[in-house]
Every structure is written in structure tokens, then in C-alpha cells.
């Protein structure tokens, strides 16, 4: 039996990763990453609602109610994207870049 090996090394965020590493050794998200996810959560949920509304209509002709549901979900996604952009615009980055 021949073993197939990769030519390149494993590309990960840390150099000490092995396939048999303990699950406790995997990198956890940083506080900044968790904060970013928390800020984006309303947009994520709005996109999930839009996807749900679109999935409902995959195997049937959309009814008027389905059309309204999709339109409201799209409007909510746009509203959340705008709100996220406005929140992000007010954040200043460290370093004093002009």
C-alpha cells in the first residue's frame, strides 16, 4: 500500500498543530473576534431569515405571503447592513492613521 503525502506542510494559524493534537490545544477566538461576531449577529440573523424565506419557496410557486416574507427579509438585511456600516464608521482604529 502506498501512502499519499502532501508536498506542502500543513497551513494553520499555529506552528505546533498536529493531526493528533488535543482538542484543548486548538486556538480559541480572541475577545476582539468575539466582539466582532456579536456586532454582526443582527445581520447574520437577518440573512438566516432571508435564506429561510427563500428555501420555503424552492419547491413551489411563491404565494403572495411568501413574496412579502422575502421582501421584508431583504429589507431587514439591508437595514442591518446599513446599521452595521454606521456602527463601524464610528469606530476609530488605533495607530493614529489619518
pLDDT, tens only, 47-94: 999 999 999 999 999 999 999 999 999 999 999 999 999 988 876 656
Residue 18's pLDDT band (cuts 50, 70, 90) = low
Question: Full-prediction pTM beyond 0.75?
Answer: no
44-68: b (≥16 Cβ within 10 Å) or e: eebbebbeebeeeeeeeeeeeeeee
> How far is residue 24's CA from residue 21's CA, in Å, rounded to a whole number?
8
Q: Which residue has the higher pLDDT, 82 or 17?
A: 82
Amino acid at each position: 500500500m502506498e501512502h499519499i503525502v502532501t508536498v506542502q506542510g500543513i497551513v494553520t494559524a499555529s506552528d505546533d498543530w498536529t493531526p493528533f493534537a488535543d482538542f484543548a490545544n486548538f486556538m480559541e477566538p480572541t475577545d476582539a473576534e468575539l466582539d466582532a461576531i456579536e456586532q454582526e449577529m443582527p445581520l447574520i440573523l437577518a440573512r438566516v431569515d432571508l435564506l429561510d424565506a427563500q428555501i420555503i419557496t424552492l419547491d413551489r410557486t411563491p404565494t403572495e405571503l411568501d413574496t412579502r416574507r422575502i421582501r421584508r427579509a431583504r429589507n431587514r438585511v439591508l437595514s442591518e447592513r446599513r446599521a452595521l456600516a454606521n456602527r463601524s464608521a464610528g469606530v476609530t482604529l488605533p495607530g493614529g492613521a489619518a
